[in-house]
Copies of this chain bind each other. A is one copy, B any other.
Amino acid sequence: MRYQLYYWPTIQGRGEYVRLALEEAGADYTDVARGKGGMGAMMKMMDVHKGTPPFAPPFLEAGKLVIGQTANILLYLGARHGLAPKPDAGKLWVHQLQLTITDFVMEIHDTHHPLGPSLYYEDQKAPAKKRTEEFWKSRVPKYLGYFEDLVAANGGAFVTGRRATYVDLSLFQIVEGLRYAFPNRMRGFEKKVPRLLELHDRIAERPNIKAYLASERRIPFNEDGIFRRYKALDL
């Protein structure tokens, strides 16, 4: 089955967690909105009068299914491509971790959009600075410390044990993104999460991920996505 992934064509954003899973799985997929007429096709799929319309991209067409919400797409893909444990208990645990990453991603987004997604960054620079300060003071240590401790408690290879799951792919992306958006702050912080950095490197070396990162399918970071490099917000 060939998947159709629908996401904004010029950013990594939330779609990137799905792209990484599809790439690691070696799945056959089209990144629809990056092709000709793709944006129109994506908008049409969001028509609320048909089937199971998603609230927002990303969403995945898989045969007759249309699945929205990043973590929900990963729940589906994880079970089909060996990117999550098979028993229900393991499935729920990995999904729980992904939902914690979802919360963190929302907080990362809010560093440059504390007044909400409907205003430009340029209209909220002062509160963005304040929120970013708090983010690095209390939220980054809490979230990354949690995952660092889990890696340690589970033996050091991946977050949930010896096998990589979609959560490990997402944590790779979190480290990449924080390094891009806050190079100075992240440099100062990295010594506190050595195992997470090792996990990041281990993911980057997996053949399918390595090939993806070197390809044109990987959109470079930019200031329209979740991770934005604004000098005023770094140190």
A-side interface residues toward B, CB under 8 Å? Answer: 48-49, 52-55, 64-65, 67-69, 71-72, 75-76, 89, 92-93, 95-96, 99-100, 102-103, 106-107, 110, 114-119, 127, 130-131, 134-135, 137-139, 143, 146, 149-150, 153
Let me know if A99 and B134 touch, CB within 8 A: no
Task: Give CA–CA (A76, B119) in the complex, Å.
Answer: 37
Let me know if B52 and A96 touch, CB within 8 A: yes
Let me know if B131 and A115 touch, CB within 8 A: yes
Q: Within the oligomer, what is the number of copies of this chain? A: 2
Given A48-B153, A76-B92, list of 18 further CB < 8 A pairs? A48-B146, A48-B149, A49-B153, A54-B96, A55-B103, A69-B100, A72-B95, A110-B110, A114-B114, A115-B127, A115-B131, A115-B134, A116-B131, A116-B135, A117-B139, A118-B137, A119-B134, A127-B127
The interface residues of chain B lying within 8 Å CB-to-CB of A67 are: 92, 96
Task: Give CA–CA (A171, B100) in the complex, Å.
Answer: 22
Let me know if B99 and A69 touch, CB within 8 A: yes
Let me know if B71 and A99 touch, CB within 8 A: yes
Give the Cβ gap from A140 to chain B, nearest Cβ, in Å. Answer: 11
Let me know if A65 and B89 touch, CB within 8 A: yes
The interface residues of chain B lying within 8 Å CB-to-CB of A96 are: 52, 54, 67-69, 72
The interface residues of chain B lying within 8 Å CB-to-CB of A53 are: 150
Give the Cβ gap from A59 to chain B, nearest Cβ, in Å. Answer: 9
Given that A55-B146, A106-B103, A153-B49 are contacting pairs, would A118 and B139 also be in contact in the complex, using a CB cutoff of 8 Å?
yes
Task: Give CA–CA (A153, B96) in the complex, Å.
Answer: 31
6 interchain residue pairs of minimum CB distance: A69-B99, A48-B149, A118-B138, A116-B134, A55-B100, A127-B127
